[in-house]
Chain A
Amino acid sequence: MRRRLDRRVTGKLLGAVGAALAVQVLSSVWAGATSGTAASPQVQRGFELFSTNCATCHGPGGEGVPGNGPSLVAPPVGAAAIDFMLSTGRMPLAYPNAALVRGEPQFSRAEIDAIIAYLSSVRAGGPAIPTLATADGSLSLGQELFQGNCAACHGAAAEGGSVGGGEVAPSLNVATPTQIGEALLTGPGVMPKFGPEQFSEHEVNSLARYIVWLRDNGDRGGLGIGRVGPVAEGFVAWVVGLGLLLIVIRLTGTKT
């Protein structure tokens, strides 16, 4: 009895090893075929990660699956878009067509770079990851551009808000400058695209600088209570303001 089990287990083990080897061989052959050269270890790693985590919706080569996920290669979405989605944890989605919401990134920096390398090897092109230098930006220009282009959706203090149809323009409180630059270039979700012909490097640096500045500044008056304005203020006026005063008059006046 034990010997037969042993044979079955051994057989299964051998089968698994064989399959893994086959995948390795096939993938390097395939990767080599598509890139025209032997696949680098990074592209290889990217392919593995992509096949396991992304191919269900975006297709094995990123060509898209109708109803599940758009094509990432025709036209190529570019490194900026991939990095934005992965580094903000919006992708991978738990299920097709789920809401795009910021979350914990599922991949490390190296893994994201690998996936980008893989998709670029399938089809190169699209906006590259921008390099920002917020210190070079102007706070004043940033405010002007923000008020003119961003505040309507993201709120006057970048606190985010509903934009209708169940969509949300997110709060920008935790976005890195690079992610801000990537979002401008690629227009994730329902956001419009703001390309390099529209915003120069200096303007993008300024916007990012202002958005980052808003996080720790601008509440000179005290508690920001969400920075949503009169709605929160009215609530506080009734609950705290009139509430405290109701207690005062209950204690001051009589009850008959």
Chain B
Amino acid sequence: MRGKERPVAVCFTLSLLSGLGLAVCYIAGGQPQLEGALLAVSLGGLGAGLILWAKRLLPNEEITEQREPPSSPEPERAALRTEIERGGETLGRRRLLTRLLAGAAGALGLALVFPIRSLGPSPGDTLFRTQWRAGSLALNATGQPLHRDDLEIDGVVTVFPQEHIGSADSQTIVVRVNPAMLALPPGRENWAPEGYVAYSKVCTHAGCPVGLYLAATHELRCPCHQSTFDVLTGATPTYGPAPRPLPQLPIEFDADGLLRARSDYHEPVGPGFWDRP
């Protein structure tokens, strides 16, 4: 074997051995790292061998070709224009038919758009309501109701209305704070019994769940784009791209000390949309 051939031969040999190794690995049950590494050597040996062959063993000729002119000669273009116009004229002369053709094509085009309407329901007022109703029992992700003694101060839990555990639009985050520290907007005096305060977990920026609770600073934070909301003042945004506070859910404890909603949210939850006033 001549000197220049050796590197190519080495590459192909490595590839061959790797390929066999891959087969053995696969038959033996497979292992991701081995599979990847052996496949890489198998492919790479072949590829490197081919490239080396082309570069070192083949004559390195450079050929030159003439480029065609970028546009056709004018007589050709004129002939094409004439051809198109001639065909068009015969159509254009029959005015009524042409107009009816346009009308029919237009109507068909319109009709073809209708299946797009079938793709989904009308939005209606879906975005304006969640599953919470007056008296809905609040359940956590494992289906347990929330008793007034369940959360420590600085505790946090995610709840859903009964029968809608996991509901994307109804997800609600409940935190317990020292009641003396609350400074909620006016009109919400009985929305936060014993320091328990509930907000929509759907971020008002782009809809991610506001999953981080920094208890020491009473801030809810969204991991997607870092919108931060102050729990004590009605989840007002204090940082990040969220434009509005998280809607607050009015809550109360029933006779058994279990958490229930007083009503649905008073505004649409989540990010803004055109019909949101």
The chain A residues found within 8 Å of chain B, CB to CB, are: 144, 148, 151-153, 163-165, 167, 187, 189-195, 197-198, 220-222, 248, 251-252
Interface size class of B (residues with CB under 8 A): 20 to 34
User: Contact check: which of A167, A193, A198, A221 meets B214 at CB < 8 Å?
Assistant: A167
Chain A CB within 8 A of B36 CB:
yes
Complex CA gap A190/B212 in Å reads 10
Task: Let me know if B216 and A189 touch, CB within 8 A.
Answer: yes
Chain B residues closer than 8 Å to A220, beta-carbon distance? 32
Top-6 shortest CB links A-B? A152-B211, A190-B214, A192-B215, A193-B152, A195-B152, A197-B150
Complex CA gap A192/B153 in Å reads 9
Minimal beta-carbon separation of B21 from chain A (angstroms): 18
User: Contact check: which of B55, B157, B213, B228 meets A198 at CB < 8 Å?
Assistant: B157
Complex CA gap A197/B259 in Å reads 15
Complex CA gap A220/B35 in Å reads 12
User: Contact check: which of B141, B150, B152, B213 meets A148 at CB < 8 Å?
Assistant: B141
Chain B residues closer than 8 Å to A163, beta-carbon distance? 212, 214, 221
Task: Let me know if A193 and B153 touch, CB within 8 A.
Answer: yes
Task: Let me know if A198 and B155 touch, CB within 8 A.
Answer: yes
> Given the interface contacts A148-B141, A152-B223, A252-B51, does A164 sit within 8 Å of B214 by beta carbon?
yes
Complex CA gap A198/B32 in Å reads 40
Task: Let me know if B155 and A164 touch, CB within 8 A.
Answer: no
Chain B residues closer than 8 Å to A197, beta-carbon distance? 147, 149-152
User: Contact check: which of A148, A189, A192, A221 meets B155 at CB < 8 Å?
Assistant: A192
Total of A-B residue pairs, C-beta within 8 Å: 69
Task: Let me know if B151 and A198 touch, CB within 8 A.
Answer: yes
Minimal beta-carbon separation of A4 from chain B (angstroms): 59
Minimal beta-carbon separation of B166 from chain A (angstroms): 10
Task: Let me know if B153 and A165 touch, CB within 8 A.
Answer: no
10 CB contacts below 8 A, A to B, read: A152-B209, A152-B223, A187-B154, A190-B215, A192-B155, A192-B175, A192-B215, A193-B153, A193-B154, A197-B150
Besides A164-B219, A195-B155, A198-B151, 10 other A-B contacts (C-beta < 8 A): A152-B212, A153-B212, A164-B228, A167-B214, A195-B151, A195-B152, A197-B152, A198-B150, A198-B152, A248-B51
Task: Let me know if B155 and A193 touch, CB within 8 A.
Answer: yes
> Given the interface contacts A152-B223, A164-B221, A197-B147, does A251 sit within 8 Å of B51 by beta carbon?
yes
Chain A CB within 8 A of B226 CB:
yes
Chain A CB within 8 A of B217 CB:
yes
Task: Let me know if A194 and B141 touch, CB within 8 A.
Answer: no
Complex CA gap A221/B212 in Å reads 29
Chain A residues closer than 8 Å to B215, beta-carbon distance? 187, 190-193
Complex CA gap A197/B157 in Å reads 12
Chain A residues closer than 8 Å to B32, beta-carbon distance? 220-222
Minimal beta-carbon separation of A240 from chain B (angstroms): 12
Chain A residues closer than 8 Å to B55, beta-carbon distance? 252
Q: Considering the complex, give the chain A residue whose CB is closest to the CB of B157.
A: A198
Minimal beta-carbon separation of B133 from chain A (angstroms): 24
Q: Mark B15-45, 1 if CB is under 8 A from A, else 0.
A: 0000000000000000011001000000000
Chain A CB within 8 A of B239 CB:
yes
Complex CA gap A197/B156 in Å reads 12
> Given the interface contacts A163-B221, A197-B150, does A222 sit within 8 Å of B156 by beta carbon?
no
Chain B residues closer than 8 Å to A192, beta-carbon distance? 154-156, 175, 213, 215
